[in-house]
Chain A
Amino acid sequence: MIHLVRDVLDSQLLARRGLKMGKVDGIVLELREGAAPRVAAIETGLVPLSRRLGPGLARRVERLIVDRGLPVNPDLRIPWAQVRREGIEIRVGIDAETSPAYVCERWLRDRVIGRIPGA
């Protein structure tokens, strides 16, 4: 048994090779007619995170990221079937390097941090 809010929400996301890929910022349930709700996916990104502070804020954040083309992950959904719980962390079978969740990390590494001597 797993408690979604206590054990999954806000947990550390680990991608392949143990790379840290953000936190579980949201959980998506599928509501079915005449049947119990089913967990469909987990979400990570600034939009689901800000949605928890208010839907209006989330819309503004999303527009800001999309309109300005900011190097930030707005929202990445990972199907529940790919999710595994390991201790206090959540492991997903995703390659972080090529995933949208790594947009900011990649951008900073390639444009800023990686260009400073000694990086």
Chain B
Amino acid sequence: MLLCQSSELGRSDEFLVPLTLVGLVTLLVLASEIGGVSLALQLATGIAFPWWAPAVAFAVWLLLWKGTFGVIEYGVSLLGLVTIAFVVAAVRLRPEITELGRGLLPSLPQHEPAHYWYIAVSILGASITPYLFYFYSSGAVEDGWNEGHLRLNRVVATLGTSFGGGLAAAVLVVAALVLAPRGIAIESCEQVALILTTSLGRAGFWLFVASLGIACFGAALEVTLAVAYMVAQGLGWNWGENVKPRHAARFCATYTVVVALAMLIVITGVDPLKLTLLAMALTAATLPVAVVPFLFLMNDPFYVREHRNGWIGNGVVLAIILLASVLAVVSIPLEIMGGS
């Protein structure tokens, strides 16, 4: 009997490339998040952040091991409300409405253009992180969503994104009003910690520490799960936060290894602030490989039937990810070479 195998029918490594690239970048993102929590603990205690990394990583792992999806989802979102402190601070700083409006329009940088674009790209990368796709869509499966949840999904996505965007804008406003007039360019995290004290006093310091710690801890949980979801679903293993670890051994082993690897990166003492910027910029650079497969799915009638993307949706997504990735590919080397 002559046999012909599918390798001869066509190569298909279009899954392995995104898996590897997105996996590596997401690992850096996770290291930044664990670094962020460790940094918050350093600010609170004075003990250097690399010492905190193992405890933080263990806490992340323990919650994933013991917790259910609901605990992680609701716990993180509730505690994360502490970041509203930034909105309060932004309002109390009384920004001029006309200035705010002008800030909404993109403008060209007056100095250090390479660094400016690098940070802009990082912010883009932080806003459209692929790990959120994996986390959110897997969460829909964990929570047992069906077609009837589509309307709820629209509401959650719109409100959630607007809320997050509003918070991010508040952080930028506070930074612009506190740092720029004093000519401060952030070099270290101790400087950032004082960003809320101008408007909120001593409590501002602790609110900043809590915001940093909780937001990063929540993100660390989500990123770790996202990597495990991506690997397990990609390779067809049993997965889920709501099943006992012994019924999804490879899934649990994956998040255990991922947390450990990210912890090792933080232990080396690499500056979490720089690592975050780099991880986010790399996220932006890899957006096409991470997001284009989603676009195919969202247009595949076999998967989504009549709920396919319209051409406006496809166009907007394509335009944004192409813009972000081109900017990233240009600005990352310039930043690393220290050009301006």
Contact = CB atoms under 8 A, between A and B. Distances in A.
B3 A30 contact: yes
B5 interface: yes
Contacts of B157: none
A19 B238 contact: yes
A55 to B, nearest CB: 7
A96 to B, nearest CB: 9
Interface string A17-49: 001111100111111100001001001100010
Q: Please report whether the interface of chain A is mostly helix, strand, loop or mixed according to DSSP.
A: mixed
A114 B16 contact: no
Contact of A27 (B9, B237, B239, B249): B9
Contacts, number: 96
B6 A22 contact: no
A116 interface: yes
B133 to A, nearest CB: 18
B13 A20 contact: no
Contacts of B4: 28-31, 37
B312 interface: no
Contacts of B1: 30, 40
A38 to B, nearest CB: 10
A29 B4 CA distance: 5
B15 interface: yes
Interface residues of A, number: 41
Contact of B239 (A13, A20, A114): A20
Contact of B13 (A37, A43, A53): A53
A108 interface: yes
Contacts of B302: 7, 88
Interface in A48-90: 48, 51-53, 55, 58, 88
A94 interface: no
Interface residues of B, number: 30
B98 interface: no
Interface in B234-273: 235-239, 244-246, 249-250, 252-253
Given A109-B246, A112-B253, A55 B237 contact: no
B236 A52 contact: no
Given A13-B236, A26-B6, A119 B244 contact: yes
A9 B12 contact: yes
B111 to A, nearest CB: 47
Contacts of A109: 246, 249
A105 B237 contact: yes
Contact of B11 (A28, A52, A88): A52
A48 B16 CA distance: 14
Contacts of A23: 235-236
A55 B5 CA distance: 11
A113 B12 contact: no
B247 to A, nearest CB: 8
B110 interface: no
Contacts of B249: 105-106, 108-109, 112-114
B236 A21 contact: yes
Nearest to A30: B1
Nearest to B3: A28
Q: Across the A-B interface, give the 6 residue pairs with the lowest CB-CB distance, nearest first.
A: A109-B249, A23-B236, A31-B2, A108-B249, A27-B6, A22-B236
22 contacts: A5-B9, A10-B15, A12-B236, A20-B236, A22-B236, A26-B6, A27-B9, A28-B4, A28-B5, A29-B3, A29-B4, A30-B4, A31-B2, A31-B4, A52-B6, A53-B16, A104-B250, A105-B249, A108-B249, A113-B249, A114-B249, A116-B65
